[in-house]
Structure 1
Amino acid sequence: MNILIQSFDRDAEFACETVARLNASGHAAYVTYAQETSLGRHLLKILLAVEERYLRITRNAAAMPPPENFRADLIVDLTGERRSEDTAVLRVEINGHRNILDGLASVKTKTRHATVVAWLDDWPVARASPMISRQTFFVVNRDELYVGVQSLIMHTIARLGGGPLDALSIDRMPKVSTCFICAYVAHLTTALCRRLLQVFIGRRHRWPAWQTAWRFIEGPGIAETRRLDGTPFSVLPDDGQRFYADPFVLEHQGDTYIFVEEFPYATGKGVISMSKVGKDGCASVPRQVLEEQHHLSYPNVFKDKGEIFMVPESGAALEVVLYRAERFPDRWARHALLIAGHNINDATFMQRDGRLWMFATERFGKGSESDTMVVFSAPDLLGPWAPHKLNPILIDKAGSRPGGHIIEDDGRFFLPVQDGSEVYGGGLGLREIIVVDDDSVVLGPVEAIGTGSAWARRGIHTLNRTDHLEVVDTTWCD
């Protein structure tokens, strides 16, 4: 597809990154620029430039004008001002604003929430809810939001290749009218005070950033009740110098093992550790079983064809690696490189119709690791693994990133998904996988897991279970 992007010159890097992603997907994309004329937006541009100078951030963008006689099949309008009589126009609205900079400003006045809607001519056809983190500087939120917009553009164009898109049923969003400068100053002051408080307290006390818990269980568990009720969980204790997170559980030869991310504060890098749960109800102190030069987490451990494998999260290395247990549970060898060149997070597998499917999130550029779902498939575990033609599948901070093994319930399959609506690690839900094949991926709504007396925390982040042991983790503490 021939695609022309129209952008303001201040967003040149963002536009060029979008062009690069489109071209990598087989399109022929180019960009033209317009000058910004609004005084208010010029002031916002100056504010962003001041932050970039303070943070020593440099921006690079190359000219990518269309060749002569180029005829676009689609115009992607990032200015909010383009109209065309003979070419389809794709534009976006952020919190009701057609101009991206106005939408960006609204993020600060809307407690970090951003709802992005893609419009094809006069019809809304796609929606995204990118994750906007709690950052001190506005420029960081700008990058997160822009990548979310970029992914929504990719998401919409991927579906255009399959034919006309159905219009969404949405209500027109009211524009946020709160004073941006007032909101910016209030946010910056709060963020700096919070940072000073963290430094002050951190010198005297370090509370666990994450906690892992487990319980023996018979019968219905969290996946069935959708609540943290029943038998109380026991905390997997740490020594205050590290935390344990992302628990996976495996039963082997009559014994039960919990695999976790261990994060020593001294190194600032995750490794994979293992705790054995005895029949007396005691869990051993986790010991390290796998380390790499890069960060490891989410130790997805499972059995396949009589062998035991693990696929930990290693997005920092831009790879998805399959490890095989040479001597279970403490000796693991790199067995196969499944995917290279992608920042894939929390790869989770299911088998359907004779094919293996991988659900994960992918980080693009300076965007979030937790809001953009991608799907890959392969004939078997060793691959070759191919991306789904509709990637990215969705951009949703409340229901994209996997949080445990896929759960089968009476022929239905549910993917645990992390809810980052308010904060990363703030909750977990289950999302039914209704359709997954070469042509489409259809997921049901997120069914949130409610709080309960079994785990007196405000939310969980991971859920896994065997026949007799259930494990969770949380970032919330008493």
Structure 2
Amino acid sequence: MTHIVIAVSPAHFLRWHQQLRDSIAARRPGDTVGFRLASGSAPQPQAAARLIATERLLVRGGKPTLCDRLEPPRATTTVAADIVIDLAGDYAGAGEIVLRPLYDGHPTDQAAVAAIMSGEAPVIAVANVATGAIVAEGLPSLESADCLIGGLEAVYSRLALLIEAAVENPRPAGATAARIDRAAVAPLPYILRNLAFRCGRALYHLCCHSPHWRVGWRFTQGRGVIDSGAIDGAPWRHMSDRQMGFAADPFPIAWRGRLGVFFERLDYQSNIGEIWYQAFNDAGPTGEPVPVIREPWHLSYPFLIEENGDLYMIPEASMTRGVTLYRCIAFPDRWEPVAPLLDDVEAADATVFRHGGRYWMTSVVRNGVGGYSDTLAIHHAPGLFGPWEPHARNPVVVDARFARPAGAVVATPHGLFRPVQDCSRGYGKALAIMRIDRLDPENFAQSCVSHMSPGRTWPGARLHTINRSGRLECIDGAILTPKYLPLRKLTHEWIDGRRQPIEGADQHCVATTDR
């Protein structure tokens, strides 16, 4: 039996602290998990506390949040601890393993408040206090954060996952945390900036289709994006789309002598994604695209896999809290659901591949709080139909920079490579290519080998999927598409003889993750 103690400050005991205790206790039923009061950090500064209280009333309608301050726990433990989780920030116990959360290298969440109010996500980590080594580290996604509360909930929920992982393996050797000092932002400028952002977003949605994704394609010989780590080379063309919808998540395939691309098409009026198919010939797209799978719920990311001579698809349908396998019964437009692969999990962009005699599935998961792109889970099975079981260290990555799948995993003589979305600056802003360095039921490690953003070769603001079948290579991206013709003339410039939006800025690659 392991005795786990969570050290908390009576002046700053929050709802997420209680939920962390309950989650660890449920995950480790044979251990004891209790609280211990420590002198700890002071509560949030009054200005930040007032802002959180105001947001809770006006933005969240008084509903409970992870940021709520609770009465300190009355029942505390006095047993000798094997592991202490120091949420107070200054626990000084002796003889135990002490794990301390860090926010941008600081021991209190006031650094997280400063980061969020400055418009950034803090780097979160769990350190072994005795050695100073980082046990677990990540970057939460703020893509769905609606205010300071939303940002803090994204931070707290993902930090809880890192703490649970650190409790499972508290002694790995890692580097020390880098300390980031940010200038404090007063609440009033933060409120005004958020108000201006909300007004600008409302005006943007009034005038523009947002976002307007399009599919790019090219025929290429030899090295493609996965091999070269760049989107330059042969020029990209984009599939024709319609003003009242967008096209995204392309998966090209050559199937029994027929070449084409499956993709998500979203209609702006219904705001529900469907899976469509565009036929290709040696010159490019031919004929009109056709719908292939329509459901009452949103569908996207039509991942394809061949098994025993049949073609299967796993479209993303995270709002159903399941992952369903479809079989093609008449190519390309007749499909039937044949098996649930995962149940009761909000999983997006499920990507299946074979490795080491097993089937592996990567996806990003979410449990109702925080972003949609920062938490990578892996499942594995002896066959495509399962049974699928979770990886021993799920979630294996908690990081918006290299968690979310961006296409099929590619096996090469140099290893397995998985394209990922870099959502650190927003959803679908850039791509990275990760090499899978280690994968088995107990371990996962990956490292970044290349990073790419939209630019002159593929103008636009976003880039988030890459797939290839034979010579046909496809990407996607989002452009600014005003709803009205006069605005289009004002917001577009001539690039390569076509009207395209101004190209996006480049970003940088983060080195490795290893959990």
Both proteins in one fold, TM over 0.5? yes
* Equivalent residue in structure 1 for 2:64, among 46, 53, 59: 59
Whole-angstrom CA distance in 2 between matches of 1:119 and 1:93: 7
Query: Against the structure 1 CA distance between its residues 112 and 325, is the aligned structure 2 distance closer, same or farther, given a 3 Å change threshold?
Result: same
AA matched with 1:5: I
- What is aligned with 1:48? 52
Query: Against the structure 1 CA distance between its residues 476 and 72, is the aligned structure 2 distance closer, same or farther, given a 3 Å change threshold?
Result: farther
2:41–2:108 contact (8 Å) kept in structure 1: no
Whole-angstrom CA distance in 2 between matches of 1:265 and 1:308: 30
- What is aligned with 2:101? 92
2:435–2:448 contact (8 Å) kept in structure 1: yes
RMSD of equivalent CA atoms: 2.6
- What is aligned with 1:233? 236
Taking the TM superposition and a 5 Å limit, the aligned residue runs for 1:309-388 are: 309-388=312-391
AA matched with 1:175: D
Whole-angstrom CA distance in 1 between matches of 2:344 and 2:94: 40
Instruction: Report Cα offsets for 1:94-117 as digits up to 9, x if no partner.
Output: 1233112x0232123443231112
Query: Against the structure 1 CA distance between its residues 462 and 199, is the aligned structure 2 distance closer, same or farther, given a 3 Å change threshold?
Result: closer
Whole-angstrom CA distance in 1 between matches of 2:213 and 2:435: 27
- What is aligned with 2:150? 140
1:136–1:192 contact (8 Å) kept in structure 2: no
Given the alignment of the two structures, is residue 302 of structure 1 paired with residue 308 of structure 2, yes or no? no
1:320–1:337 contact (8 Å) kept in structure 2: yes
Instruction: Report Cα offsets for 1:280-332 as digits up to 9, x if no partner.
Output: 42244332221233222111012111111111112211111111112222121
* Equivalent residue in structure 2 for 1:153, among 140, 153, 163: 163
* Equivalent residue in structure 2 for 1:254, among 239, 245, 257: 257
Query: Against the structure 1 CA distance between its residues 115 and 272, is the aligned structure 2 distance closer, same or farther, given a 3 Å change threshold?
Result: same
Whole-angstrom CA distance in 1 between matches of 2:77 and 2:244: 62
2:405–2:421 contact (8 Å) kept in structure 1: yes
Whole-angstrom CA distance in 1 between matches of 2:447 and 2:259: 32
- What is aligned with 1:190? 196
2:363–2:404 contact (8 Å) kept in structure 1: yes
2:125–2:177 contact (8 Å) kept in structure 1: no
Whole-angstrom CA distance in 2 between matches of 1:79 and 1:381: 46
Query: Against the structure 1 CA distance between its residues 20 and 283, is the aligned structure 2 distance closer, same or farther, given a 3 Å change threshold?
Result: farther
Given the alignment of the two structures, is residue 165 of structure 1 paired with residue 172 of structure 2, yes or no? yes
SS of match in other structure, 1:206: strand
AA matched with 1:221: G
Given the alignment of the two structures, is residue 3 of structure 1 paired with residue 4 of structure 2, yes or no? yes
Whole-angstrom CA distance in 2 between matches of 1:321 and 1:441: 25
**Aligned residue pair count:** 470
2:363–2:405 contact (8 Å) kept in structure 1: yes
Whole-angstrom CA distance in 2 between matches of 1:249 and 1:62: 56
TM-score w.r.t. length of structure 1: 0.90
Identity within the alignment, %: 26
Taking the TM superposition and a 5 Å limit, the aligned residue runs for 1:7-86 are: 7-8=8-9, 12-27=14-29, 28=31, 29-31=33-35, 38=42, 41-55=45-59, 56-59=61-64, 70-86=79-95
Instruction: Report Cα offsets for 1:64-103 as digits up to 9, x if no partner.
Output: 7767665542222222132211332211111233112x02
AA matched with 1:211: R
Whole-angstrom CA distance in 2 between matches of 1:312 and 1:394: 22
TM-score w.r.t. length of structure 2: 0.84
* Equivalent residue in structure 1 for 2:419, among 416, 419, 430: 416
Deviation at 1:255, TM superposition (A): 1.0
Deviation at 1:413, TM superposition (A): 0.9
Deviation at 1:3, TM superposition (A): 2.5
Given the alignment of the two structures, is residue 434 of structure 1 paired with residue 437 of structure 2, yes or no? yes
AA matched with 1:188: N
Whole-angstrom CA distance in 1 between matches of 2:453 and 2:197: 29
Return 5+ residue gaps in structure 2 as ranges: 481-500, 502-515
Given the alignment of the two structures, is residue 129 of structure 1 paired with residue 129 of structure 2, yes or no? no
Whole-angstrom CA distance in 1 between matches of 2:224 and 2:94: 57
- What is aligned with 1:106? 114
AA matched with 1:117: A
2:244–2:269 contact (8 Å) kept in structure 1: yes
Deviation at 1:18, TM superposition (A): 1.9
Deviation at 1:394, TM superposition (A): 1.7
AA matched with 1:157: V
Whole-angstrom CA distance in 1 between matches of 2:160 and 2:43: 26
Deviation at 1:385, TM superposition (A): 1.1
